[in-house]
A and B are shown apart, each in its own frame.
Chain A
C-alpha cells in the first residue's frame, strides 16, 4: 500500500469535487421541479397528461442511466436537424448532456417518491379540511403538503445519495469530475486500490454529510409529543 499515492490522488480527485457538486446540485434542483410537474400531470383528470407521465416514468425507471446518458449525448447528436437548432447550444456540451440525463433520471424517481408521499395521506383529512371551511389551496398548503414532505424526506435523502453515486457516470462522456479523474490516475499509475481508497473516502464523506443533514431535517419535521 502506497500511502503517498493515496494522499496525492486524494488531492487530485478533490479538484473534481467542484464539478461533481455542480452536476449533482443542478440536476437535483431541476429534477425536483420537473418531478413536481410530472406528479401534477398524473394527478389531473386529463388522460393524455396522465398516460404520458406514466410512460415517461416507466421508460426512465426501466432503463439504465447509461443508456439515457448515451442517448442524449450520442443519440440526439445524430440528427442534423438537432445540430442546427438552438438546442444544440445545450447538447454540444458534455456537461449539459450529463446534467440533462441526470435531471430526467432523478425526476422520474422523485415523482414516485412524492406521489407515494401524497398517497399516504388519508382522504378523510382533506374532507375534514374542507368541512372546516378551507379551500382547495389552503387544504393543500396546510394539510397535504407538510405531511407529504415529512413522508417523503427519508426516501428523498436516499435519492440524493443515489444521485451522488450516479453522477460518476458522466465521466464516461468525458467530463472530468471525481470518477473521471480517478480513472485517469488509475490508467497512469496502475494502482487501482490506492486511487479507489482516495475516491471512496470523498464519496463516503459526501454521503455521510447528506445523511447527517437529513437526520436533522427529519427530526425537525417529526411530531414529538
Chain B
C-alpha cells in the first residue's frame, strides 16, 4: 500500500495523473470521432453510389481490422510521412509526432467508424412521415434539421453512444504502445521499477472500472433526461 502513496514516496499521484490522461485522450478521441462521423453518415445516406461506397469502405475496414494494427499504421506511418515532407524541405532527421495527438487521432478514427453506423441507424429510425409532415407545415432546411431530426437522432442513438464511449475508454489502453503515459503505460513503468505488477495492475483495473462505471451513470441520467415523455 505504501507504494500507492501520493507524493514522492509512492506512485499514487502518478497513477492519478495517468488516469486523467486516459480521460483526456478519450474525450479528445470521442469528440474528434463524433465530428468525423457526421460527413460519413451523410455519405451513407446520400444516393450517390461513389460516396456511399467510400463511407461503407471506411466503416468496414476500420471495424474489421484490429485496433492495434490501426494504431501501428498511424504511429509509424505518420512520422514517416512527416519526415518525407520535411526531407523535401531539406530537413533530414527523425521527427516524432506527439503521442497524445496520434493516440487521440487513432482512437478517434475507430470511434468515428462505430458512430457512423450508430448515427445512420438512428437517422433511419425516424419515420419518413415526420419529414413529410414537417414539409407540409412549412418546416424545412435548418429548422427541420435542428428542430426535428437532430433531437430525435440523439435520443435514439444515446444508449449506443454510451457503448462507444466505453469502447473508446478501453481502446485508449492500446495507445500505451506508443509511449503516451496513460494508465497502462504508467502501470507498466511502475510495475517494472517496483517489481509489484500485481498491485499496479489491480489499481489500473480499479481506475478503469471507476471510469466506466461513472460514465455509465452519467449516460443513464442523460438517457432518462432525453427520453422524457417516451415510454
User: B69 near A203 (CB under 8 angstroms)?
Assistant: yes
A70 touches B197 (CB 8 A): yes
* Contact of A179 with B66 in the complex, beta carbons under 8 Å: yes
Residue in A closest to B75 when the chains form the complex, CB atoms: A192
Interface hit among B2-10, B44-52, B144-152, B171-179: B171-179
Residues 121-168 of B at the A interface (beta carbon under 8 Å): none
A79 partner residues in chain B, CB cutoff 8 A: 198
B217 to chain A, nearest CB (A): 12
User: Do B80 and A190 touch across chains, with their CB atoms under 8 A apart?
Assistant: yes
The residue in chain B whose Cβ has the minimal distance to the Cβ of A77 is B197
B205 close to A (CB within 8 Å): yes
The answer to whether B184 touches A64 (Cβ under 8 A) is: yes
Contacts of A161 in B (CB 8 A): 64
Please provide the chain A residues from 37 to 80 with a CB less than 8 Å away from any CB of chain B in the complex: 58-59, 61-67, 70-71, 74-79
Contact of A62 among B60, B174, B196, B212 (CB under 8 A): B212
Question: Which residues on B sit within 8 Å (CB–CB) of A204?
Answer: 60-61, 64-65
Complex interface: chain A residues within 8 A of B68 (CB): 168-169, 171-172, 179
By a CB distance below 8 angstroms, the chain B residues around A78 are: 195-198
Q: Is A150 an interface residue (CB 8 A)?
A: no
Are A192 and B72 in contact, with the CB atoms below 8 A?
yes
- Residue A176, interface by CB 8 Å: no
Q: A74-B197, A75-B202, A207-B64 are in contact. Are A168 and B173 (CB under 8 A)?
A: no
Complex-state Cα separation, A162 to B68, whole angstroms? 13
Q: Is the CB of B184 within 8 A of A67?
A: yes
Q: Are B65 and A203 touching (Cβ within 8 A)?
A: yes
Instruction: Tell me, in angstroms, the Cα distance from A182 to B177 when the chains sit together.
Output: 15
Compute how far the CA of A164 lies from the CA of B177 in the bound complex, rounded to whole angstroms: 20
Of A83-91, A92-100, A193-201, the segment with at least 4 beta carbons within 8 Å of chain B is A193-201
The interface residues of chain B lying within 8 Å CB-to-CB of A171 are 68
Partner of B72, one of A74, A165, A182, A208: A182
Top 4 nearest A-B pairs (CB, nearest first) are A168-B66, A64-B173, A192-B76, A64-B170
Q: Could you give 30 example pairs across A and B, Cβ below 8 Å?
A: A63-B212, A64-B173, A64-B174, A64-B184, A66-B173, A66-B184, A67-B187, A70-B184, A70-B197, A71-B198, A74-B191, A76-B198, A78-B196, A164-B66, A166-B66, A168-B67, A171-B68, A172-B68, A179-B68, A182-B69, A182-B72, A186-B72, A192-B72, A192-B77, A192-B80, A193-B73, A196-B72, A196-B73, A200-B61, A203-B66
